[in-house]
Amino acid sequence: MSQQSNYTEDNIRSLEWDEHIRLRPGMYIGKLGDGKSPDDGIYILLKEVLDNSIDEFVMGAGKTIEVKISDGQVIVRDYGRGIPLGKVVDVVSKINTGAKYDSKAFKKSVGLNGVGAKAVNALSTEFIVQAFRDGKTKRAKFEYGKLTEDDAIVESSQRKGTKVAFRPDPEIFVNYRYILEYVEKMLWNYAYLNPGLTLYLNGEKFYSENGLKDLLQDNLDGNTLHDIIHLKGDDIEVALTHSERMQGEQFYSFVNGQHTTQGGTHQNALREALVATMRDFYGKNFDASDVRSCVIGAISLKVMEPVFESQTKTKLGSLEMAPGEIHVRTFVINFMKKELDNFLHRNAEVAEAILKKIQRAERERKDLQGIRKLARERAKKASLHNKKLRDCRVHLNDKKASPKGDRRLETTLFITEGDSASGSITKSRDVNSQAVFSLKGKPLNSFGLTKKVVYENEEFNLLQAALNIEEGLDDLRYNNVVIATDADVDGMHIRLLLITFFLQFFPELVKEGHLYILQTPLFRVRNKKETRYCYSNEEKNDAISSLGPKPEITRFKGLGEISPDEFKHFIGQDIRLEPVMISKDYRSEDLLTFYMGKNTPKRQEFIIENLRVEKNLEEEFLN
């Protein structure tokens, strides 16, 4: 007979606000993470503080925001109105306390739930808030959400505004570090959405005059078919162009200054409006995929009391522009049908270029129809019978479910080469959220090839099907796509070939921060009491010094040499991932041409100057 646990009044607990946040942080900031991914919790903490400063600018108070990040501490200083001094402690430590419930003070604010700054406070080892207002200042300090210093209001000569300093709790965000490139992207988005606002990150300036037009211009990767179309109206801004080389479609969407990376009603409405407007303008019932082929677009919407599908606000769920007012979809479609149609009538050259692009996409789609059908059937059959993809339970348990929201954020696909390496990862992975895709030998160099090769090449076709990215990233099955190859010449070559494949055909996967390189240890240094795994020659030397005389040193030459028992340490909580990022100073087309195109004297010179054969590397590591 099974035992039943007692259920009495003693089982009922009431948690303090900070205890609840610390116990269930995912409810407030999405996922945790250590900073390797742009949607990790430490960036959400920064965003929550910044959103308050941005709302001040939107309300016409303060044109400058300063951000400093050093040694794990973040400081944000704005020059807005400043928190009312008598409420400084309450607004960062009492749930459901804040001015944003009053629509008169913050009409179209990002944060409406009165939680953001409190979550930052509770999840930080140290949180300091200081307000400057009316020639006076008030400062308060918290540790782990508990008030430790509550200074009196004193006179101050500093400019009005608010200063917040916090240090994320390393017990919650284990081994965290801020990758400044991710922070820079965040600040640029704030600048694009708020023309006239100046932001600084450790002294570097971020400023935009032309809003979403600047966003597209700064993020273009290659030539475009026409100049950027820039449309603005009350509560809406749209920018559009078409890429010469990109295969699919790419959109940036924002609501009240929040980057909605998963889109939502406003982005869906923009995609629908593009098709409807083009069909009406050209008088032809084009296929929707042909109209949106090669499009790069951005939309920013201002909504009263927006509804998001999670606390991290990555997807808009609002149906109305304001309670009881026009539907978001109708508002966007009406705006586009009027403004884009007027633009096309006034700019015949742009209209002609877009028509030719649609017609070209139509021809290419029809040419590929037969191949795509066969490729899909082949991929479906292969997924049933081969072992190239060892899926995770998130998908195995629910084949039809699209991995959205928090479930998608948890998933990882390791792309590896060879049976031994894929076998080690498969045996040591977290079967709930980690999947493995096994390559057979080196992939094809896809640089300069057409999309046709993706369907005709078995490896590429099955990889595309595993990721579910044929039609874009809307239904991407794995949030983290990790290239896991040996740290030797062949492994580096495979990495480069895979990165080439993604940049050539699915550049948005890289641009939106989904692609990583798995870092695995080069050495194991151990004595009878302790084992150290070292990722560099410097770490190896430090381990030798720490562990004393004559420790055992093992050099790992490949992933297959690492046992599954050891491998689980390298793809678990302590996983080291290096994000693949393309600087805005470089175009991926130029990089691919140099590294993967025809050999040139310039590249030969580069190879000769940087050549290191594996033997020399081996000698360097073992010395």
pLDDT tens-digit readout, 137-149: 999 999 999 999 9
Question: Same topology for domains 17-207 and 386-520+557-591, yes or no?
Answer: no
Q: Which residue in 30, 23, 151, 15 sits closest to 95, CA to CA?
A: 15
Q: What is the pLDDT of residue 378?
A: 77
- The answer on pLDDT for 205 being more than 50 is yes
Q: Which residue has the tokens 């609002």?
A: 318
Out of 151-160, 249-258, 367-376, 590-599, give the one with best mean pLDDT.
Answer: 151-160
Distance, CA of 255 to CA of 249 (rounded, Å)? 20
Give the domain ranges of the chain: 17-207, 212-364, 386-520+557-591, 521-555
Out of 235-239, 520-524, 544-548, 557-561, give the one with best mean pLDDT.
Answer: 235-239
DSSP symbol at 444: P
- The answer on pLDDT for 585 being more than 70 is no
Q: Which amino acid is at 559?
A: L
Inter-CA distances, 314 with 80, 252, 522, Å: 26, 12, 38
Percent of the chain whose pLDDT exceeds 90: 45
For 437-452, the pLDDT digits (tens) are 998 888 998 888 888 8
More confident residue, 15 or 399: 15
Do 30 and 409 contact (CB within 8 A), yes or no? yes
Residues 6+ apart with CB under 8 A from 502: 481, 509, 510, 515
Helix 601-610 to helix 588-596 angle, to the nearest 10 degrees?
Answer: 80
Q: What is the pLDDT of residue 557?
A: 78
Averaged confidence pLDDT in the chain = 84
Distance, CA of 218 to CA of 239 (rounded, Å)? 13
- The answer on pLDDT for 617 being more than 50 is no
pLDDT band at 96 (very low <50, low <70, confident <90, very high): low
Distance, CA of 480 to CA of 516 (rounded, Å)? 7
For 470-489, the pLDDT digits (tens) are 877 878 899 899 999 887 78
Tally of CB atoms within 10 A around 621: 16
Average pLDDT over residues 73-92: 94
Distance, CA of 511 to CA of 38 (rounded, Å)? 11
Distance, CA of 460 to CA of 122 (rounded, Å)? 46
Average pLDDT over residues 34-63: 90
Distance, CA of 476 to CA of 471 (rounded, Å)? 10
Neighbouring-strand partners of residue 481: 413, 515
DSSP symbol at 320: B
- The mean-pLDDT minimum among 322-336, 529-543, 599-613 falls in 599-613
Q: What is the pLDDT of residue 375?
A: 80
What is the CATH number that goes with domain 386-520+557-591?
Answer: 3.40.50.670
Tally of CB atoms within 10 A around 480: 22
For 492-544, the pLDDT digits (tens) are 889 989 999 998 888 889 888 899 999 888 899 999 889 999 988 889 999 99
- The answer on pLDDT for 556 being more than 50 is yes
- The mean-pLDDT minimum among 441-450, 473-482, 563-572, 583-592 falls in 583-592
CATH class for the region spanning 17-207? alpha beta
More confident residue, 512 or 120: 120
Inter-CA distances, 189 with 195, 206, 616, Å: 10, 9, 44
What is the CATH number that goes with domain 212-364?
Answer: 3.30.230.10
Tally of CB atoms within 10 A around 253: 25
| Rounded-to-5 percentages of helix, strand, coil across the chain | 40, 20, 40
Q: Which residue has the tokens 């993470």?
A: 33
Q: What is the pLDDT of residue 188?
A: 95
Helix (H) or strand (E) segment spanning residue 595: helix 588-596
* φ/ψ (deg, to 5) at 148: -115, -25
Average pLDDT over residues 363-382: 81
Distance, CA of 178 to CA of 245 (rounded, Å)? 33
DSSP symbol at 240: E
Q: Which residue in 472, 451, 299 sits closest to 402, CA to CA?
A: 472
